[in-house]
Chain A
Amino acid sequence: MSFVEYSEIIQEGDVVIIFLGHESMMPIKVQSGAQTQTRYGVIRHSSDLIGQRFGSKVTCSKGGWVYVLHPTPELWTVNLPHRTQILYTTDIANITLMLELKPGSVVCESGTGSGSLSHSILRTIAPTGHLHTVEFHAQRAEKAMQEFKEHKVSHLVTVRNHDVCKDGFGTTAIADAVFLDIPSPWEAITHAKSAMKRKGGRLCSFSPCIEQVQRTCEALLDHGFEEICTLEVLLRVHDVRTVSLPLPDFGPEEGSVDSSQMASDVGQEEVPNTGNTSVICRTAKPPREMAGHTGYLTFATKPLN
């Protein structure tokens, strides 16, 4: 197992995702002899996990069952331990596309935070790319390094612990893309520019507040960046539901219009055996609330020198 390569069989030391049910998952580290408690009972790593195929069903001690999944950056994003507010898959997907990331890309990122975006970048740039990630918080930098090691991706990433606004990314003229998710991105634009290859590259800055965006765009313009573009993207989920809608009773009518006629008027089949006649609709409704804002994404191109 690794976050950048699929495997078929679960092995000791793997990080796997246990799927317990709707919107309920947890990551666990597979260790010989270890046990994991779940609401459906105990999972014994040696007998239930090691040697099993990813995707199989595991029956727990209480009789209930779970699925064991191969980790992916997307699953990691919704299951990782938060040390900071993280980026979610919707934004990550757009960042990946707009920064033109692909195998072999060299990327500079700051701040590392909880590593949500980092894992996604690593997956996309493997096996020939590299990620230089800068985190000014010592413990977070340490934790990130630990996780990259556990997830078997440390050969693709270099973590540096310093302030990107003061000391840059620690490398120059090598990046195809730079990503900034820091409080004052305008202070890092000079460093971003020097980290990027002379032939040009792409930049992205993520900021929750419009004032930050304004200052960043100004800085980008001053530094000669082009194609400056700010957008936001939100995911709308459609919950598929089967609903039953009762039909009204207009009383008996001349010409014997019965409920089956009414049902067919509505274009649906009548549901038999219900007290008041109803029709079934298979539809999708929006959830009660949705994420209304994560942050503004500002993209720009550093032109050819």
Chain B
Amino acid sequence: MAECGNDSDAESRISYGDYVVLKRGDVFKSVQVENKKKVVFEKQWFFLDHAVGQLYGTRFEIEAGGSLKLKAAKHSGDSLDSKEAGQDNRHIVDDGRSQKLTRDDIETLKEQGLKGQEIVQQLIDNSTTFKDKTEFAQEKYIKKKKKKYESDVTILKPSTRLLAMMYHGREPGKICHLRYDTMAQILTLGNIHAGSKIIVFETCAGLVLGSVMERMGGFGSVIQMYPGGGPTRAGMESFGFPSHFHETLHEFPLCKVNTLLAGTLDLSEKDADSESNGSRNGQSESSQETSGVSEEKSSEPQSMEVSVDPQEEMRRAERERLRGQKAQEKKVKMEEKRKKLASAAALLEGRNADGLVIASRFHPCPVLMGLLKFIAPSRPFVVYCQYREPLIECYTKLREQGGAISLRLTDSWLRHYQVLPNRTHPVLLMSGGGGYLLSGTTVAADSAKARNQHKSEEPVAKRLKLDEISSA
């Protein structure tokens, strides 16, 4: 598997049903390849049908009409006859009138089917100031116009890198403003790797869950703890994992954690519905029956008498059959749910998980204190929070309680650079922040007395001096 020589195997080709990532420049979008489905990306719409069967990484051009065409081999676009160039901008007046083509002219060109490259050439030819710009300014101008008028799209296989960058760029609110370099830290500090058993609690649309699963490669198991109704998995689906990955994924409702810890989790049939709608569902089921019956009664008051109409008899029998079918389906679903709950509980019960990742909009402190109980000693845990103070609370609580060492509260500073000959400098706009992380390692649970020995990680104020040296 490691030396898979055949690069063109089925896995490398785009198929219907695949989740892919569309890319143009720095913009990404996750979509699923569906038959004749219109896709909107960067103000253009098109169909992905012609992409099916092509290799991932292929670049396409969007034609008028929305079909995709393989992009011809790259003719180095930057060699656009720039014979003439100025030395500096002292005589260039920006009066907004240097471009002779109007918006409508450009639209016309587009409608005529001119490719992006050709439109850019037209813009250059019709600019009165282009030849006066410096070479650097010309390059910058061309790059900018290309970005605006070219209509290619590259189709890529999803990865944590692409999806984390996409979510952070498009919908940071959905992922608690978790920046991709912070995501990188989470996965590494958490020692996420194949074969481990990881507990995840996140409200990042499933992105964190998917990233953890990618690093596990389908080996080991992931237990997703979820608040409320059910686990969010949309972001995870965008990874397009093969089906056997899904077998490693379990879920467990937060609202049953206490009963599980107490050892009183009831996995018998009547407790099957994990949303504690169980009784309600059961009631609704029976009420459905009764309403069905009463419906029958109300709509056919005469049916109290012996019915002699065979058609009526048939219809009633059909209704009975459907009701029975529905009840049966429901029973099967409940049983499935019960089984899933039981398997997740079995994984958690041993309290020997290999790692914990928390990234949510909930206050991290109680989540952390509650879920740490399921982690084995000498295992890493990582908690992400958009804000710093809640993590300070976690840190303090953990110091008080013991059972964790190497606690670190960190955030990461990220800066991109433009690297061009004689024009290398950091990029003008920089991310202001990417969230905070609290990381640490679990150790065997400690008695309070032992903890107050010389292992304090926090240097203390002058007034209190802890004993430094043990009895010798």
Residues of A within 8 A of B (CB): 4-6, 8, 19, 21-22, 40, 53-57, 62-65, 67-70, 72-74, 89-90, 92-94, 96-98, 100, 102-104, 106, 120, 123-124, 126-130, 173-174, 197-200, 210, 213-214, 217-218, 228-244, 282-284, 296, 298, 303-304
Contacts and interface: CB of A to CB of B under 8 A. Distances in A.
Contacts, number: 217
Interface in B254-279: none
Contacts of B164: 97
Contact of A123 (B193, B219, B415, B421): B193
A21 B416 contact: no
B417 A232 contact: yes
Given A69-B441, A236-B412, A92 B419 contact: no
A57 B7 CA distance: 50
Interface residues of B, number: 80
A169 to B, nearest CB: 14
B410 A237 contact: yes
Which among A21, A97, A173, A243 has the greatest number of chain B C-beta atoms within 10 A?
A97
A284 B391 CA distance: 10
Nearest to B189: A74
9 contacts: A6-B354, A53-B377, A94-B184, A103-B217, A120-B188, A213-B419, A239-B409, A240-B395, A282-B393
Contacts of A53: 377-378, 444
Given A6-B354, A89-B188, A236 B450 contact: no
A8 B376 contact: yes
A304 B184 contact: no
Given A106-B3, A282-B392, A233 B413 contact: yes
Given A94-B184, A233-B413, 12 more contacts: A5-B195, A21-B454, A63-B470, A74-B188, A90-B412, A103-B216, A124-B193, A231-B415, A236-B411, A284-B409, A298-B419, A303-B59
B193 A240 contact: no
B432 to A, nearest CB: 13
B232 interface: no
Nearest to B406: A19
A6 to B, nearest CB: 5
Contact of A241 (B195, B411, B458): B458
Which among A68, A120, A199 has the greatest number of chain B C-beta atoms within 10 A?
A199
A96 B193 CA distance: 12
B2 to A, nearest CB: 4
B378 A55 contact: yes
B419 A102 contact: no
A22 B409 contact: no
B12 interface: yes
Contacts of B183: 97
Interface stretch (B50-58, B292-300, B320-328): B50-58
Contact of A55 (B161, B409, B424, B443): B443
Interface of B: 1-3, 5, 7-8, 12, 55-59, 159-161, 164, 180-181, 183-185, 187-189, 191, 193-196, 214-219, 352, 354, 376-380, 388, 392-393, 395-396, 405-417, 419, 421, 424, 436, 441-444, 446, 450, 453-458, 461, 470-472
A100 B159 contact: yes
B450 A65 contact: yes
Given A94-B184, A199-B8, A236-B410, A103 B57 contact: no
B409 A102 contact: no
Contact of B1 (A57, A72, A104, A217): A104
Contact of A106 (B2, B188, B458): B2
A304 B376 CA distance: 44
Contacts of B416: 229-231
A217 B184 contact: no
A274 to B, nearest CB: 10
Given A55-B444, A103-B216, A120-B188, A4 B193 contact: yes
A68 B378 CA distance: 8
A303 B193 CA distance: 28
Contacts of B184: 93-94, 96-98
A72 B191 contact: yes
Contacts of A123: 191, 193
A5 B444 CA distance: 20
Contacts of B419: 213-214, 217, 228, 230, 298
Contact of B191 (A73, A100, A234): A73
A237 B409 contact: yes
B196 A103 contact: no
A146 B159 CA distance: 34
A73 B380 CA distance: 12
Contacts of B379: 6, 55, 70
A22 B440 CA distance: 12
B57 A284 contact: no
A93 B185 CA distance: 5
A240 B217 contact: no
Contacts of A214: 419, 421, 424
Contacts of A96: 184, 187-188
A239 B185 CA distance: 18
A19 to B, nearest CB: 6
Contacts of A230: 416-417, 419
Contact of B380 (A74, A92, A213, A239): A74
Given A6-B354, A55-B378, A63-B471, A303 B217 contact: no
B380 A282 contact: no
Contacts of A90: 185, 412
Contacts of B55: 199, 304
Nearest to A243: B461
A295 B180 CA distance: 19
A238 B195 contact: no
Contact of A67 (B56, B405, B409, B471): B405
A70 B419 CA distance: 42
Given A70-B378, A214-B419, A304-B57, A92 B188 contact: yes
Contacts of A63: 470-472
